[in-house]
Amino acid sequence: MGKLDGRTVLISGAARGQGEQEARLFVAEGARVVIGDVLDEQGEALAGELREKHGKDAARFVHLDVGVEDEWRAAVAAAKDAYGGIDGLVNNAGILRFNELVSTPLEEFQQVVRVNQIGAFLGIKHVVPEIEAAGGGTVVNTASYTGLTGMAFVGAYAATKHAVLGLTRVAAMELAAKNIRVNAVCPGAVDTAMTNPAALDPDADPEETAAAVAELYRKLVPMGRIGRPQEVAALALFLTSDDSSYITGQPFVIDGGWLAGVSPF
């Protein structure tokens, strides 16, 4: 018996990184997963791999630009067509841009808002009615360590993650009577391409990049290392499963102790 047996969960931004690990773990725990992403080739490959390993109903891929309302409608329709309904959502898709606030172009700020904030809103708006129709379920929003504090040079990102926590709390209050729980994961630094753009650079030396990242977080994080996407996936599983049955409206920080304070060691 898996923790998510019989459940259907839509995960946005699931072609790589945290979303990919959530998709893998959720399927391993018995869920049928709809993988939404703009990375079509990677998303299709992941869905195919999961079907091959776990059975023909394990996963489906759907192209999903989370800032486009019609694409959410299409993703919901595809999920219903494949599985009959949806009873879980993980709003995982997000982007990160580094810039000083006063140097941030309006277009860049709006781009981050469109994906991180509007994307989460549209996911709730279009998936929650299906979760209600299924008799209840869960929403897990991906916020951030920076949704609870400030961080220089990520102003647009931090602003959107604060907003995601606001959406989480309001949605939890509005949906509790409908048997829908809404919580947020708040990762610190996690070893994915988004937080480490050098990993996407074909000319970068992987060993040098890994060493530089390891040294940075050895100094910043009390636990002395960067997080792993599998660890965030495990938290998302907890919040999606019945293990968290009396929890809603809460931010869950997963950051190796970073928010507690910078380690002096």
Q: Which residues are catalytic?
A: 157
Task: Write out the DSSP string of the chain.
Answer: --TTTT-EEEEET-SSHHHHHHHHHHHHTT-EEEEEES-HHHHHHHHHHHHHHH-TTSEEEEE--TT-HHHHHHHHHHHHHHHS---EEEE-------B-GGG--HHHHHHHIIIIIIHHHHHHHHHHHHHHHTT-EEEEEE--GGGSS--TTBHHHHHHHHHHHHHHHHHHHHHGGGTEEEEEEEE-SBSSTTT-GGGG-TTS-HHHHHHHHHHHHHHHSTTSS-B-HHHHHHHHHHHHSGGGTT--S-EEEESTTGGG-----
